[in-house]
Amino acid sequence: MRTQKILTAAIVAAACFIGLIVTMGGRFAYFVDVPSLMVVLVFPFLYQSALYGFGGVARAFRAPGDPDATAAELRASVAFFRSYGRATWLFALFASISATIAMLGDIANPATWGPYLAVVLLCLLYAAMLNLLLSLPYAAHAARRLAEFPDDARAPHTADAACGR
């Protein structure tokens, strides 16, 4: 039941994206670029796995829907998904800048501008969609679950309290 809200948010975001494509008369094939998908989907996942370990990634996905999740697990899940969202945008930005540099390196050939610009925009689009479909719903659900805990369970870490944060 708890993960149903996450799934509902993802379905709404996907439906909005598909509706936008349909109303613009676009073709879905224009929105698919496998290398861009790899950069935005796979690389941030591998990066997060290096930071949190595969077990930590699994716990971050599991905690928001687990009725027995502790406040610490939910905090870790929120931190993971916020970090994952940022990593997704940064990898997309890295790919977009790289494609822009490649386009400028071949500026004398206008035939290459379209494919390079498509990579720039698709990477940013994929990052936005991944955040709407995955990072934001999971982080919001974990944060909402964390807010249900008593104030002492949500108390900041001792280091944060000592620093006045």
Q: How confident is the model at residue 2 (pLDDT cuts 50, 70, 90)?
A: low
Instruction: Label residue 165 by pLDDT band (50, 70, 90).
Output: very low
Task: For residue range 91-100, list pLDDT tens digits in order.
Answer: 999 999 999 9
| Averaged pLDDT score across all residues of the chain | 87
DSSP the chain: -HHHHHHHHHHHHHHHHHHHHHHTT--GGGG--HHHHIIIIIHHHHHHHHHHHHHHHHHHHHGGG-TT--HHHHHHHHHHHHHHHHHHHHHHHHHHHHHHHHHHHTTT-GGGHHHHHHHHHHHHHHHHHHIIIIIHHHHHHHHHHHHTS-TTTTPPPHHHHHTT-
Least confident piece of the model among 71-80, 105-114, 154-163:
154-163
Question: Over the stretch 15-63, which tens digit does the pLDDT of each residue have?
Answer: 888 888 888 877 888 888 898 999 999 999 999 999 999 999 999 999 9
| Model pLDDT, residue 152 | 58
Q: pLDDT category, 64, cuts 50, 70, 90?
A: very high
Segment 2-6 mean pLDDT: 75
Q: Within 10 Å of residue 9's Cβ, how many Cβ atoms?
A: 18
Looking at residue 140, its pLDDT comes to 93
- pLDDT at position 156 is 53
Q: How far apart are CA 96 and CA 121, in angstroms?
A: 7
